[in-house]
Amino acid sequence: MSGHSKWSTIKRKKGALDAKRGKIFTKLIREITVAAKMGGGDPAGNPRLRMAIQNAKGANMPQDNVNRAISKGTGDMEGVVYEEFSYEAYGPGGVAILIPVLTENRNRTGSEVRHILTRNNGNLTEPNAVAWNFEKKGFFLIPGDGVDEETLMEIVLEAGAEDMEPADGNFEVRSEPEAFEDVRAALEKNSVATESAEITMLPKTTVKLEGKPAEQMLRLIESLEDNDDVQNVYANFDISEEEMSKVSA
- For 25-82, the pLDDT digits (tens) are 889 999 999 999 999 999 999 999 999 998 898 888 899 999 999 999 998 878 788 9
Q: From the centroid of its chain, how far is CA 171?
A: 18
Q: What is the mean pLDDT of the chain?
A: 88
Phi, psi of 148 (to 5 degrees): -80, 125
> For the chain, what is the largest distance between any 2 Cα atoms, rounded to a whole number of angstroms?
51
- pLDDT band at residue 5, thresholds of 50, 70 and 90? low
Residues 6+ apart with CB under 8 A from 43: 49, 50, 53
Run of H or E residues at 245: helix 241-248
Domains of the chain, first to last: 2-74 (1.10.10.200)
Residue 202 has pLDDT above 60, yes or no: yes
pLDDT digits (tens, 9 = 90+) for 101-158: 999 999 999 999 999 999 999 999 999 999 999 999 999 999 988 788 999 999 999 9
Beta strands, E only, the chain: 83-90, 96-103, 123-124, 134-143, 163-167, 170-175, 196-203, 207-209, 234-235, 237-239
Mean pLDDT of 75-100: 92
If DSSP codes are grouped into helix, strand and coil, which group holds residue 99?
A: strand
Instruction: Look at residue 1 in the predicted model and tell me its pLDDT.
Output: 46
Please give the model's pTM, rounded to 2 decimal places.
0.84
Amino acid at 52: A
Length of the chain (residues):
249
